[in-house]
């Protein structure tokens, strides 16, 4: 596609995209660090992570301001309009991902050595998969690839399955040994936060698909209903 006749319009659209990529990079790092802090039970490092969330929030505000400006001043059409409107949604999703990463970091202090190590390593493994999702969705965004976006969208099912298995396992542990309830509740929350990060990556994949095609991504979630049999086994 050719450039706009008005060069400054192109520059504004480029700026909105480069800010999103920058924000995505910060979120990616934030998730990576919080998982590392969790894996190493490194409370000090976790404290550092909390301070970095403001940068992500600031970028979100910048992207919002720019998007409003473009809509008001340029009246974007077609794919330009989708880029700007989706930027609002993507920025919001990235900001939420950053919050969830921060939530993980906040709970590192509550994770004790005595907690079920099997579940912790499973959570870290899920975190690794989520990181791959983030990397891939940012890649799909930079390349504006509908195909890559669909691949990311589909990969969320693996995260959901892992989360379900962690959930079941922790429920079982708590049922068997009530002394672990406090620690396991923290682990459940951590796992949920990471699983949510995957959901937001999936949302971004939907936005990319919308920007490229103008159509919403219609795909069936295949694991619906698997939660029905989750119950505490005593």
Partner 1 sequence: MDMNKKIKVCVENLNVYYGDKQALYDVCMDINQNEITALIGPSGCGKSTFLRCLNRMNDVIDICKVEGSIKIDGEDIYNKDVQVEKLRERVGMVFQKPNPFPKSIFENVAYGPRIHGLAKDKIELEEIVFTSLKKAAIFEEVKDRLDETGTSLSGGQQQRLCIARAISVNPDVILMDEPCSALDPIATAKIEALMEDLKKEYTIIIVTHSMQQAARVSSKTGFFHLGNLIEVNDTETIFSTPTNEKTLDYVTGRFG
In the complex, which residues of this chain contact partner 1 (CB under 8 A)? 1-6, 9, 75-82, 213-215
State the nearest-atom distance from the C-beta of 77 to partner 1, in Å. Answer: 5
State the nearest-atom distance from the C-beta of 231 to partner 1, in Å. Answer: 47
The smaller minimum CB distance to partner 1, of residues 5 and 232, is found at 5
Q: Is residue 211 exposed (0-12), middle (13-18) or buried (19+ Cβ within 10 Å)? A: buried
The smaller minimum CB distance to partner 1, of residues 68 and 227, is found at 68
The smaller minimum CB distance to partner 1, of residues 73 and 181, is found at 73
Instruction: Report d(CA 163, CA 227) in Å as an integer.
Output: 11
State the nearest-atom distance from the C-beta of 6 to partner 1, in Å. Answer: 7
The smaller minimum CB distance to partner 1, of residues 12 and 193, is found at 12
Please list, in sequence order, all residues whose beta carbon lies within 8 angstroms of the beta carbon of residue 167, skipping any fewer than 6 positions away.
Answer: 188, 191, 230
Closest CA to 170 of 161, 155, 159, 180: 180
Is 41 within 8 Å of 111 (Cβ atoms)?
A: yes
The smaller minimum CB distance to partner 1, of residues 8 and 223, is found at 8
Length of the chain counted residue by residue = 234
Is 215 within 8 Å of 147 (Cβ atoms)?
A: no
Sign, Cα dihedral of 110, 116, 121, 125:
negative
State the nearest-atom distance from the C-beta of 223 to partner 1, in Å. Answer: 31
State the nearest-atom distance from the C-beta of 160 to partner 1, in Å. Answer: 31
The smaller minimum CB distance to partner 1, of residues 75 and 233, is found at 75
**Per-residue DSSP letter, 115:** S
Angle in degrees, CA 36, 49, 42, rounded to 5:
45
Radius of gyration of the chain (CA): 20
State the nearest-atom distance from the C-beta of 40 to partner 1, in Å. Answer: 49
């Amino acid at each position: 596609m050719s450039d706009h006749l008005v060069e400054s319009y192109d520059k504004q659209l480029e700026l909105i995209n480069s800010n999103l990529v920058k924000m995505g990079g910060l979120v990616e790092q934030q998730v990576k660090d919080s998982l590392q802090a969790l894996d190493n039970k490194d409370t000090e490092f976790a404290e550092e992570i909390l301070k970095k969330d403001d940068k992500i929030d600031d970028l979100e505000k910048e992207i919002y301001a720019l998007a409003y400006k473009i809509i008001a001043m340029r009246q974007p059409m077609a794919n330009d309009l989708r880029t700007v409107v989706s930027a609002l949604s993507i920025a919001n999703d990235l900001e939420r991902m950053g919050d969830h990463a921060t939530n993980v970091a906040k709970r590192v202090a509550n994770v004790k050595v005595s907690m079920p190590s099997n579940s912790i390593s499973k959570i870290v493994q899920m975190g690794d998969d989520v990181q791959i999702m983030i990397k891939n969705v940012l890649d799909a965004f930079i390349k504006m690839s509908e195909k890559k976006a669909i691949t990311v969208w589909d990969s969320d099912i693996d995260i959901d399955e892992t989360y379900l298995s962690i959930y079941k396992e922790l429920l079982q542990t708590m049922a068997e040994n009530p002394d672990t309830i406090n620690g396991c509740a923290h682990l459940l929350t951590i796992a949920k936060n990471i699983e949510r990060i995957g959901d937001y990556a999936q949302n971004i994949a939907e936005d990319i698909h919308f920007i490229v095609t103008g159509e919403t991504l219609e795909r069936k979630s295949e694991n619906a209903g698997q939660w029905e049999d989750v119950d505490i086994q005593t």
